[in-house]
């Protein structure tokens, strides 16, 4: 019996995406000081963030599809299990097709930290650090730091309470925040470069001097402050992940250092 | 050339080709082998290799930094203690790789000093540093968490990982100060 193998090459253009739909600009973020929920040192939660730039929206399925077309070693079924778990890109119809579960303009999810990191490197970029992410996530539409507003917290907490559902919306569904960045809350959770800097579990409890082994002893104090709860949920999430894990709600966006102000 | 010679030649070429495929990395590695990671490391003598410098031997891996006041010396002494429970024949096949999370300060000279201070067997141990940008990835692979503190110190989890001969992580321990019996058994069986 002869097997007929359909031979065709899928390119981003033949897959129906225009360059416009793949644009995800890097937005300049002026640095500054802010109070983090994760103090750098005990009792001192003032953190300085240098100028950087960040993609205005989470990376979409369409963008990630383009990436795996150019980098077949990151296609589902080809990516090695050192770098991804068995749910990697599981919502896609196939290794190089999105299908009905994954619209082109939805944020890509089911991606591991390794995959996200590799994507950003391909963009001559990197993942944002936690402090960078937290800094831009503190904004609402009109203020750089809106965290003291009860409605800011309430919005996030009400989003948490209904996530876990089936599908996320498209990126840029709501207004841009103060920095010109979309979807910091309300769509997906996001990988950060130093996700494995959080040590809130008690893994080393049997040893003496456990406090010295565990960052975040100080973080646990602020965990009790209600206004930080919304953001600390993110920290708790990140601290529970391994770099090869993928989840239905976890996406990412890329950042660059010291972008020249336009 | 008659047909027999031709076929023999073909077999020879195929055999050559297969041996090449075996020796080049990639395809022959198990999918979860840490040797898929393309990072370079520089040891206490300034020698630069891939992470797979000990491929073919079981390896103990941990991450540390030289200026660490309490935990890192304990990490090293825990590995030494665990090794001391092996027979001499077992030990000769085991390798140890400790990777610095502080490449700026942990120069080869500094790493050599630490090796000498702990009088470990440098024919089987390497203390290495990597490129700063690769440390998060290495930590991600080995399930180690770390954070740099203001002033240059680090907080980090203390995990010792056992790799089998092809770089698959087969066991790990986070116990310090004494040998972890289950972990020791895993080391022994990887050596046999």
Domain ranges across chain A: 24-257
Partner-chain contact A41 B149, CB within 8 Å: yes
Q: Which of A92, A96, A197, A168 has its CA nearest to residue B157?
A: A197
DSSP A39-83: -SBTTB-EEEE--EEEESSPPBHHHHHHHHHH-GGGSTTTS-TTT
Q: Which A positions 121-140 lie with beta carbon below 8 A of chain B?
A: none
The CA distance from B5 to the nearest CA of chain A, in Å, is 32
- Say what the pTM is: 0.84
Q: What is the pLDDT of residue A6?
A: 42
- Work out how many CB contacts closer than 8 A connect A with B: 74
Q: Which chain A residues are within 8 Å of B140, Cβ to Cβ?
A: 113-114, 196, 242-244
The CA distance from A214 to the nearest CA of chain B, in Å, is 6
CATH 3.30.750 fits A24-257, yes or no: no
pLDDT digit string, tens, across residues B59-90:
999 999 998 877 778 899 999 999 999 999 99
Q: Which chain B residues are within 8 Å of A114, Cβ to Cβ?
A: 137, 140
Q: Which chain A residues are within 8 Å of B136, Cβ to Cβ?
A: 117, 193-194, 196
Segment among A126-140, A148-162, B52-66, B109-123 with least mean pLDDT: A148-162
DSSP B88-156: HHHHTT-EEEEEES-TTT--HHHHHHHHHHTT--TTTEEEEEE-GGGHHHHHHHHT--EEEPTTS-EEE
Q: What is the pLDDT of residue B183?
A: 97
Partner-chain contact A197 B145, CB within 8 Å: yes
Question: Quick check: B13 pLDDT over 70?
Answer: no
Residue in B70, B71, B157 closest to A199 by CB: B157
Question: Quick check: A219 pLDDT over 60?
Answer: no
Q: Which long-range contacts (CB under 8 A, 24 or more apart) does B132-135 make?
A: B132/B103, B132/B104, B134/B39, B135/B63, B135/B99, B135/B101, B135/B103
Q: What is the pLDDT of residue A224?
A: 43
Question: Quick check: B52 pLDDT over 80?
Answer: yes
Partner-chain contact B145 A198, CB within 8 Å: yes
Partner-chain contact B71 A117, CB within 8 Å: no
Q: Which chain B residues are within 8 Å of A199, Cβ to Cβ?
A: 145, 147, 155, 157
Rounded Cα distance, B18 and B109, in Å: 42
Q: What average pLDDT score do residues A49-75 get? A: 97
Question: Quick check: A176 pLDDT over 70?
Answer: yes
pLDDT digit string, tens, across residues B122-155:
999 999 999 988 999 999 999 999 988 888 888 8
Residue in B31, B37, B156 closest to A81 by CB: B31
Would you say the ipTM is above 0.85?
Answer: no
The CA distance from A237 to the nearest CA of chain B, in Å, is 14
Q: What is the pLDDT of residue A164?
A: 54
Higher-confidence residue of A35 and B167: namely: B167
Cα B135 to Cα A35, A87, B99, B100, B160: the distances in Å are 27, 25, 9, 8, 16
B155 touches chain A (CB under 8 A): yes
Neighbours of A68 (CB within 10 A): 21
Q: What is the pLDDT of residue A259?
A: 56
pLDDT digit string, tens, across residues A83-125:
999 999 999 999 999 999 899 999 999 999 999 999 999 999 9
Q: What is the pLDDT of residue B24?
A: 42
Q: What average pLDDT score do residues A211-228 get? A: 42
Q: Which chain A residues are within 8 Å of B36, Cβ to Cβ?
A: 80, 82-83
Higher-confidence residue of A224 and A80: namely: A80
pLDDT confidence band for A57 (50 / 70 / 90): very high
Q: What is the pLDDT of residue A42?
A: 66
Percentage of chain A beyond pLDDT 70 is 76
């Amino acid at each position: 019996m002869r097997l007929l193998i359909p031979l065709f090459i899928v390119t981003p253009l033949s897959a129906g995406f225009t360059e416009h739909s793949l644009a995800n600009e890097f937005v300049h973020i002026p640095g500054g000081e802010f109070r983090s929920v994760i103090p750098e040192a005990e009792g001192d939660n003032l953190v300085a963030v240098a100028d950087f730039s960040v993609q205005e929206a989470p990376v979409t399925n369409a963008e990630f599809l383009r990436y795996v077309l150019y980098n077949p070693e990151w296609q589902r079924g080809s990516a090695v299990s050192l770098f991804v778990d068995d749910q990697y890109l599981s919502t896609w119809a196939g290794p190089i097709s999105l299908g009905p579960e994954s619209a082109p303009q939805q944020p890509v999810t089911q991606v591991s930290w390794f995959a996200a990191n590799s994507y950003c490197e391909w963009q001559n970029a990197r993942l944002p650090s936690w402090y960078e992410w937290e800094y831009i996530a503190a904004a609402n539409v009109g203020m750089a730091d809106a965290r003291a507003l009860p409605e800011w917290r309430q919005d996030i907490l009400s989003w948490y309470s209904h996530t876990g559902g089936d599908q996320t919306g498209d990126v840029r569904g709501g207004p841009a925040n103060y920095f010109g960045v979309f979807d910091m809350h309300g769509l997906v959770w996001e990988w950060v470069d130093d996700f494995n800097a959080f040590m809130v579990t008690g893994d080393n409890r049997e040893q003496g001097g456990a406090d010295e082994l565990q960052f975040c002893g100080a973080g646990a104090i602020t965990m009790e402050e209600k206004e930080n709860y919304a953001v600390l949920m993110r920290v708790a999430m990140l601290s529970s992940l391994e770099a090869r894990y993928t989840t239905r709600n976890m996406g990412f966006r890329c950042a660059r250092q010291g972008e020249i102000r336009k | 050339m008659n047909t027999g010679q031709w076929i023999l030649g073909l077999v020879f070429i195929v055999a050559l080709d297969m041996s090449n495929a075996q020796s080049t990395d990639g395809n022959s590695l198990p999918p979860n082998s840490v040797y898929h990671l393309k990072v370079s490391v520089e040891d206490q003598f300034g020698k630069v290799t891939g992470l797979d410098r000990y491929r073919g031997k079981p390896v103990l891996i941990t991450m540390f930094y030289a200026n660490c006041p309490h935990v890192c010396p304990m990490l090293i002494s825990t590995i030494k203690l665990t090794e001391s429970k092996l027979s001499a024949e077992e030990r000769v096949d085991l390798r140890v790789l400790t990777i610095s999370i502080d490449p700026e300060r942990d120069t080869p000279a500094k790493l050599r000093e630490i090796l000498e201070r702990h009088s470990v067997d440098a024919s089987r141990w390497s203390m290495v540093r990597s490129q700063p940008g690769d440390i998060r990835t290495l930590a991600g692979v080995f399930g180690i968490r770390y954070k740099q503190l203001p002033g240059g110190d680090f907080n980090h989890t203390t995990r010792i990982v056992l790799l089998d001969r092809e770089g698959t992580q087969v066991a790990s321990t986070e116990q310090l100060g004494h040998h972890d019996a289950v972990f020791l058994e895993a080391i022994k069986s990887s050596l046999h």
